[in-house]
Amino acid sequence: MKRACVAKINSMCRVFLWKGDPEAHNTARVAWSTVVKTKEEGGLGVKDLLLWNKACCLRLIWLIFFMPESVWAAWFKEVILKGSVLLDYQALAEFLLANKQTIEAKRCSLPLNSPSYT
């Protein structure tokens, strides 16, 4: 999802939490960063959509490497990468947003390829 879309949804969730109406206007009584913490950490355990979206993109990268027989991985390799290697691939502006985010999310997974993780 677009970052602006995630921010709007998070904003509606914040307002709904305090007012019960996502269209109402409100000032936060507690920082959203506190609300999205787990209950054990003192939060309410509400999912942070920005983090959730990043995790979903990383899951798609995981599928490419560890489940190459999946339909999505095969489609992505054939249609989007067109024979290129994901780790060497540059996201192009004309690709769909989801594809760009998936390709850009590889930057988060690159530290996992370092010698300290293998």
- Beta-carbon contacts of 19 under 8 Å, excluding residues fewer than 6 positions away, are 26
48-78 pLDDT per residue, tens: 888 888 888 788 888 888 888 999 888 888 8
Give the model's pLDDT for residue 91.
Answer: 47
On the question of pLDDT at 107 being above 70, the answer is no
Give the model's pLDDT for residue 117.
Answer: 40
pTM: 0.54
Q: How many angstroms from the chain centroid is the CA of residue 31?
A: 21
Angle ∠(79,81,84) on CA atoms, nearest 5: 140
